[in-house]
Amino acid sequence: MKPFSTARGVNHRAPAAFTLVELTVSVALLTFLMIILANMTDSAGRAWSQGQSRTDTFQTARASLDLLARELAPAVVDTRMQFVVAPASILAPSPLSSQNIAGDSPVLLWMAPLGNEGSLCCVGYYLYRDDTNQFHRLKRLYIPATDASGNASPYFPQTANLNNPRDTTLQPSPTDASWFTRNWMSSAAGNPFADPNVVSTAADGVIAFWAQCVDLLGNPIPLVSSSSIHPVSPLSFNSAAYFQVATTLPFDNGSSFTYLAQTAQSLRANRVPAAIDLTIMLLDNATITRSGNLPQQVNDLAANGTIDVTQSLNDLNSKLNKAGIYNARTFSTRVKLVNGN
């Protein structure tokens, strides 16, 4: 048998293949495109995450300030009740670190008809700071006179002594907030900060909190502690202090609020501010977790004895920036008190 042979003139060649250079260029091009796509996806993910964080922060701030404003606006006082803005340190009988209370932030304490059928409740807000667990929270105290079972609350401020109607120890003080805190500090009554039925979280991520009281003419009210003539007091504002407020026109010296010395003729004001400017600074949880211990709020005082909130904010922002934190957000609102006019 003859071997198989091809026809003359027919050239059978192997199929053409990619060269090494072509393969290298293709792989490099594909890698480059994949890197661009990954970067675009990562950028879109970061943008979405940052946008979601901003949205969450705005919602947290709006909800917490709205709640605070609704409960603060109807605050009431008389000769048997008190309204106080004070350093939060008054809440801690033991060192602040054990209670996780941010001492240079304020605590607001007041009475308002927020209970069933308009019954009075004791309400308060303060800043909670736990650097170990990285919790920064605006806390809310809410104490009705009785619990759900009708039993008297051991934390509710006592307004009357049925056995001694003239008991002067129950009257609010012109210099301290013991009218609110005397039941909290008692070992028999326990610690309200450990009772979830009394203390709740109003907002997470709040790293600073300011409350500036305003008089009828819209001017910031000097701190009680800054007065040289009023009896010595650590408080910022006290409805039971000795003071006078201008109404439609300033006093002859141009001021619109003045403290009085304690004399036989001096009367306690027993009135709430016309309004309160509330300011909070927030950070998202991811930044708090990543940053560890954060700078603390420190209040700057103006020459007239008021808190310079703007300068205090700038100082804290500067400290945060030095720590590499640039995304802190600040929210403010003015709450007009119904009984402040």
Please name which of 310, 292, 288 lies closest in space to residue 301, comparing C-alpha atoms: 310
Please name which of 109, 280, 302, 332 lies closest in space to residue 220, comparing C-alpha atoms: 302
- Report, as an integer, the average pLDDT of 154-177: 84
Alpha carbon distance 53, 96 (integer Å): 31
* pLDDT tens digits, 202-257: 999 999 999 999 999 999 999 999 999 999 999 999 999 999 999 999 999 899 99
Structure confidence at residue 6 (pLDDT): 52
Structure confidence at residue 97 (pLDDT): 45
- The full set of domain ranges for the chain reads 47-340
Alpha carbon distance 281, 205 (integer Å): 8
φ and ψ of 62, to 5 deg: -65, -45
* pLDDT tens digits, 2-43: 555 555 555 556 566 668 777 788 888 888 888 888 777 766
Please name which of 102, 268, 103, 82 lies closest in space to residue 180, comparing C-alpha atoms: 82
Question: CB–CB of 307/300 below 8 Å?
Answer: yes
Strand 243-245, strand 257-259: pairing: antiparallel
Alpha carbon distance 311, 300 (integer Å): 7
* pLDDT tens digits, 34-86: 888 877 776 666 555 555 556 666 787 888 899 999 999 999 999 989 999 99
Please name which of 96, 206, 98, 199 lies closest in space to residue 143, comparing C-alpha atoms: 199
